[in-house]
Structure 1
Amino acid sequence: MSDLQCDVAVIGAGTAGISAERAARGAGASTLLIDPNFAGTVCATVGCMPSKLLLAAAKRAHHARTADIFGISAPPQIDGKAVMQRLRRERDRFAQGVRDGFKRLPQGVAITARARFAGPNRLLLDDGRSVTAARTVIATGSAPAIPGPFQHLGDLILTNDNVFELPDLPESLAVIGAGVIGLELAQAMARLGVRVAVFDRANQIRLSRQPAINQAIAQALGAEFAIHHGSSPTPSRVDGKLRLDWGAGRSDMFDHVLIAAGRPPQVAGLDLDRTGATLDERGMPTFNDQTMQIEDLPIFIAGDVNGARPVLHEASQEGAIAGRNAARFPQVQPFDRSPQFTITFTDPPIARIGKGPDDAACVGLSDYGNQGRARVEDQAQGSVHLYADSQDRLIGADLFAPGGDHLAHLLLWAVIEGATATELLNRPFYHPTLEEGLRSALRQICRASDTALPPNQDCGNPPGS
């Protein structure tokens, strides 16, 4: 096999890598997309989509189980094998769509191999070939971290990389980590009838910048499954099952343990030290998050591998920025980034948007514990905290509320547009909807910024809103 040359080599065919290769090729560069498997993106195969399929099944079960408040009796009969079969069937369809995209790449662009650096412009492939690349984009993603005490447990260990391969739902599950992945999957499993316990070293939930929201999350989710804060359990294998010991002599047995202790960047084996980049104690380089360039090198880093904003839409944007700049190097252009935006798909959803309370001149609160539409749906819990500057322009939000994944998009778009609380209050709110619950927070911001309320807001909310 002969060695290869290109303008831009992209290492990793996930969301960021696909976006980077497309952007670089679109800017006129010759490209190579290098990946050992071309299996599909993390989102499609082991992340966003399979987890939402599990959550969707769990929500249906929960609605059936709690329907008696509406005068409807329908206790669910959960077929764990059928749940997992549908999950994999739909997951595979999403993943196949990504793999079909690889087939449409120009001939010779996709290289099935592992790559490592031999210098800032040279890569070595594990098939014996080398690549001379004028510029390189690193997009190797992240992988689950397995804490040392759990590494010896073999097939008792689950991560989001293999939990969706279970042929049936387990009877019991321990979850290590009360972050996004841990809480989403813990709630899904619990609602599907699995006995779940979550263990986390922190003394409280830390998914929101608002302590009140973190307390509300802990209270709501703690009513569905056990959450043990401030705990670092010791695992052992007993008769083919998992035993966890923690605290003052407490212990329990589980079928499996789901490790959700983070997904660190996959930089091992890249030999980044050979690029000339300065690496920190974790082996990570410094990069510019508006250009994605590593120092002044012809190397860019995008997506989960840089550890900055590990969510899909950010990986896609970062890949596009890195690909365009790699094609144009050394004329590197900084790009404005959208406000930070994350959603945790618990029920209710949790979201963080833009700047937080420390940057706000005004804060408004909408309580969804007695909001009209939320009560209609038997989902009355949580709150929305809006942040604004002194001119009542929205700059961010934290929320834990019914419909929060949809409310969060509206709020993000308002922040991007520089909308003021007054402008939003001047727009129509249909009654009864979850959206009209935002008006309480918007009015508070107007009052705190000494901005006059629009005339149509002087009369207050419709009854029950």
Structure 2
Amino acid sequence: MPRRHDLVVVGGGTAGIIAATTAARLGAGVALVERDRTGGDCLWTGCVPSKSLIAAAKTAHTMRSGAAFGIDAVEPRVDFAAVLAHVRGAIARIEPVDSPDALAAAGVEVLAGDAVFTSPRELRVADRRLRFRHAVVATGSSPALPPVPGLADSDPLTSDTVWDLTELPESLIVLGGGPIGCELGQAFARLGSDVTIVEAADRLLPREEPRASDALSAALTAEGVRVLTSTTVTAAEGDHGGSTLSLSGPDSPPTLSADHVLVATGRRPGSGELGLETAMVRLDDRGHVIVDAKLRTSNPAVYAAGDVTGKLPFTHVAGMHGSIAATNALLAPTRTIDHEKIPWVTFTDPEIAHVGLTEHQARQRHGDGVRVRLLEHDDVDRAITEHATHGFTHVVLDGKHRVLGATIVAPRAGEMIAELTLLTTRRGRLRDLASVVHAYPAWSDGVWHAAVAEANSALQARPLRQITRALLHLRRLRS
């Protein structure tokens, strides 16, 4: 009979790697099973390549935008093969950190192959049986095509396959106006593609504050991206030589053609063919593994982490999931995660960062006591120096002045959101930041100015003003 592992991790993406290395550092006997290559979507098809492409595209955009700064604008010559070499170079630089060799050096046994659960406490990899005290399912997700007639046969691109392009598309239709669609759509447009984004909802980024959606739509339109919202695709035809879509929407043409169609409308969990029903692990209707706040499944010996749970589909969430799942499994199930207080960033230009509740969500939950502190970036000196004053800081507060959520639109919104994430997590008050000295001139001035405005409102409140006047009157009498 094979020995029993303390922990077996299925999946070698961010969640699986963090779970396995955390367990190894705790001294556990741990094995990680990966069917393809360690590193997951983030390294190979997600965060690393997309942000590398965005960086190249931003450089091209900067060359075109010099006139505002007294510099002659130059139309860049984009060598798409060299751009992709830059993307692959970034992947190659980071890949060793997530490699099987690095995992083995950390004390993790790495097994290549497909894992299939054969009982609640055992799984099989090829002809090898692995018995475990606990397991973590971290098999991620993959792009899903919407059920549009003819779409699957028209050879569309996805966030997985777009990196196989060898030439810059002359024209590109992006299906889906979420973070992936907007990021890649803007990047390809800046590199020189004629881009149209098609979104079924009435605005881009439907999960964000409407003001943020409007700001991004305006920025994309100003750069030549065609944005079609409230538009559905009813049929598709074509192949690798080009595609034509039939559209239905108030402002859309009846058909739209392009060299390529990039589908960014959703993802499916990687839970199939794992034999999870044999392991007594329950799934929801979409195939996500059902977990509680401690990431336990319906089988007390099995935890799940990352995209396969259907929670927030971000790398930083997957990493935290992996750490929580491993420590809860090996030590005691005491750690929890509150997904409502996790920040996320859409890395367009401008960036859109969010944490906590939107204004609408807050009013539904907390009623009329909710207030919003809105600061336009017209008066943020750093924004003025960079001709980037169209952003804003939007903070949602409860009746006790505590931060419930925030949205920032700015070139460095991803960094600016950190302080507001801390306040959201710790139920802190926005005005508490007013007494914290911030470096000047920095983009964080946007958050600080909002905090100062909140503090000034408190100082001008009628009871406090009356007390202050009384104290000043007494001091005048004494002097």
State the Cα distance separating 1:431 from its structure 2 match: 4.0
Taking only aligned residues, the RMSD between alpha carbons, in angstroms, comes to 2.5
Measure the CA separation in 2 of the matches of 1:374 and 1:240.
44
Deviations 1:101-135 (A, max 9, x none): 2342437x11111112122112122x222222221
Matches within 5 A, 1:326-365: 326-328=329-331, 331-335=332-336, 337=338, 339-357=341-359, 358=362, 359=366, 361-365=370-374
State the Cα distance separating 1:89 from its structure 2 match: 1.9
State the Cα distance separating 1:98 from its structure 2 match: 1.6
Measure the CA separation in 2 of the matches of 1:28 and 1:95.
25
CA contact (8 A) 1:350 1:405 kept: yes
Measure the CA separation in 1 of the matches of 2:418 and 2:307.
22
Matches within 5 A, 1:359-438: 359=366, 361-369=370-378, 371-438=380-447
For residues 332 and 434 of structure 1, do their structure 2 counterparts lie closer, same or farther at Cα, with a shift above 3 Å needed? closer
Measure the CA separation in 2 of the matches of 1:336 and 1:242.
43
Q: Give the aligned residue type for 2:203.
A: Q
- Structure number with the bigger relative contact order (C-alpha 8 A, sep ≥ 6) is 1
Aligned to 2:55: 56
Is residue 325 of structure 2 the alignment partner of residue 322 of structure 1? yes
Aligned to 2:175: 176
CA contact (8 A) 2:307 2:318 kept: yes
Q: Give the aligned residue type for 2:247.
A: W
Matches within 5 A, 1:74-85: 74-75=73-74, 76-85=76-85
Aligned residue pair count: 447
Measure the CA separation in 2 of the matches of 1:47 and 1:449.
44
Aligned to 1:308: 311
Sequence identity percentage? 31
CA contact (8 A) 1:385 1:399 kept: yes
Of 263, 280, 283, 2:267 maps to 263
Aligned to 1:245: 246
Is residue 288 of structure 2 the alignment partner of residue 284 of structure 1? yes
Measure the CA separation in 1 of the matches of 2:443 and 2:10.
44
Matches within 5 A, 1:223-234: 223-224=222-223, 225-233=225-233, 234=235
CA contact (8 A) 1:373 1:433 kept: yes
CA contact (8 A) 1:422 1:451 kept: no
CA contact (8 A) 1:173 1:256 kept: yes
CA contact (8 A) 1:138 1:302 kept: yes
Higher helix share: 2
Unaligned runs of 5+ in 2: 466-479
State the Cα distance separating 1:422 from its structure 2 match: 2.8
Measure the CA separation in 2 of the matches of 1:311 and 1:254.
30
For residues 262 and 66 of structure 1, do their structure 2 counterparts lie closer, same or farther at Cα, with a shift above 3 Å needed? same
For residues 431 and 323 of structure 1, do their structure 2 counterparts lie closer, same or farther at Cα, with a shift above 3 Å needed? closer
Aligned to 1:41: 40
SS at match of 1:236: strand
State the Cα distance separating 1:272 from its structure 2 match: 1.6
Measure the CA separation in 2 of the matches of 1:436 and 1:322.
37
For residues 448 and 269 of structure 1, do their structure 2 counterparts lie closer, same or farther at Cα, with a shift above 3 Å needed? farther
Matches within 5 A, 1:86-101: 86-99=86-99, 100-101=101-102
Is residue 301 of structure 2 the alignment partner of residue 298 of structure 1? yes
Measure the CA separation in 1 of the matches of 2:434 and 2:305.
38
CA contact (8 A) 2:12 2:39 kept: yes
For residues 120 and 403 of structure 1, do their structure 2 counterparts lie closer, same or farther at Cα, with a shift above 3 Å needed? same
State the Cα distance separating 1:58 from its structure 2 match: 0.9
Deviations 1:76-112 (A, max 9, x none): 22222211121112222222332142342437x1111
SS at match of 1:275: coil
Is residue 132 of structure 2 the alignment partner of residue 133 of structure 1? yes
Deviations 1:39-70 (A, max 9, x none): 42321111111111111011111111010112
Q: Give the aligned residue type for 1:65.
A: R
TM-score by structure 2 length?
0.86
Unaligned runs of 5+ in 1: 456-465
TM-score by structure 1 length?
0.89
Measure the CA separation in 2 of the matches of 1:166 and 1:136.
38
Is residue 157 of structure 2 the alignment partner of residue 153 of structure 1? no
Measure the CA separation in 2 of the matches of 1:53 and 1:283.
32
Aligned to 1:459: none
CA contact (8 A) 2:200 2:232 kept: yes
State the Cα distance separating 1:440 from its structure 2 match: 4.3
Aligned to 1:196: 195
Measure the CA separation in 2 of the matches of 1:45 and 1:238.
25
CA contact (8 A) 2:120 2:299 kept: no
For residues 450 and 267 of structure 1, do their structure 2 counterparts lie closer, same or farther at Cα, with a shift above 3 Å needed? farther
SS at match of 1:273: coil
For residues 257 and 277 of structure 1, do their structure 2 counterparts lie closer, same or farther at Cα, with a shift above 3 Å needed? same
